[in-house]
Amino acid sequence: MSDSNHVALITGTSRGLGAVIARVLAERGYDLVVCARDEGPLQIASESFRSPGGKVVAIAGDITDDAVRVRLVDAARKLGGLNVLVNNASELGGIGPLSAVDLTRFARVMQVNVGAAIALIQRALPLLAERGGLIVNISSDAAHGAYPGWGPYGASKAALELVTRTLAGELSVHGVSAIAVDPGDMRTRMHQEAFPGVDISDRPLPEITIPFWNWLLSLNPRDVIAYSGQRFAAQQEDARWRLERKAS
């Protein structure tokens, strides 16, 4: 993908993986629209995304609020369009058995992790179609692991992966690609919430995924469309990108 005059929209960017992805995009010359619920941490993080000549628009708010989604897409439009949309914002929803889950909390997890992503894609589709853009939905191994206690989160990520595959088929006519990315276990606040009281210092920082993002963003649109609908594990170099990355 050409890196000049490109625009990316990333949700959940005040810390962790979202912040890492935003920095990679900024370093590659993308103008950014970034979002998180808490304004203070978002503003601090957004300063670290700024690169010489690059633009960063930070919008605080809950991604389940359509007014926030409208502001995000409008900001991308004002920057010139949209090449990459990263649906990274997620909620864990707590750890506990599905047999005792609070259904209101379950609905909130599905709304944040799946519904809001679909709604943002709907809002952003005209801009993405203009540039043959890429949708990246952040998934998890919990989508396949059926881990006890992780039911709401795992169900939401499994649904998001099916959404991704479906979108890939539906949006190809518009020249828009969609992939799912499992970033793997990382030393993040959400991961610590999943393991309260457990030392997770052996987990790698989100920066471990940087080689994958650089490979993905180095592709031209024709190469990206060939991968549409696929799932990548960002910490595991596989045959689809190992040789290509090393040759680049």
- Active-site option among 30, 90, 153, 228: 153
Selected residue with higher pLDDT from 189 and 73: 73
34-63 pLDDT, tens digit per residue, is: 999 999 999 999 998 887 778 999 999 999
* Phi (first) and psi of residue 57, to 5 degrees: -110, 120
160 residue type, one letter: L
Distance CA 45, CA 97 (A): 35
pLDDT of 132 reads 94
- Active-site option among 157, 177, 227, 228: 157
Examine the residue annotation and report whether 48 is marked as an active-site residue of this protein: no
Examine the residue annotation and report whether 139 is marked as an active-site residue of this protein: yes
Distance CA 143, CA 150 (A): 9
Q: Which domains are assigned to the chain?
A: 7-247 (3.40.50.720)
If you count them, how many residues does the chain have?
248
Examine the residue annotation and report whether 157 is marked as an active-site residue of this protein: yes
- Active-site option among 14, 46, 139, 156: 139
238-248 pLDDT, tens digit per residue, is: 888 764 444 43
Contact present, 112 and 99 (Cβ < 8 Å)? no
224-234 pLDDT, tens digit per residue, is: 999 999 999 99
Distance CA 190, CA 116 (A): 19
* Phi (first) and psi of residue 10, to 5 degrees: -130, 130
- The pTM score is 0.91
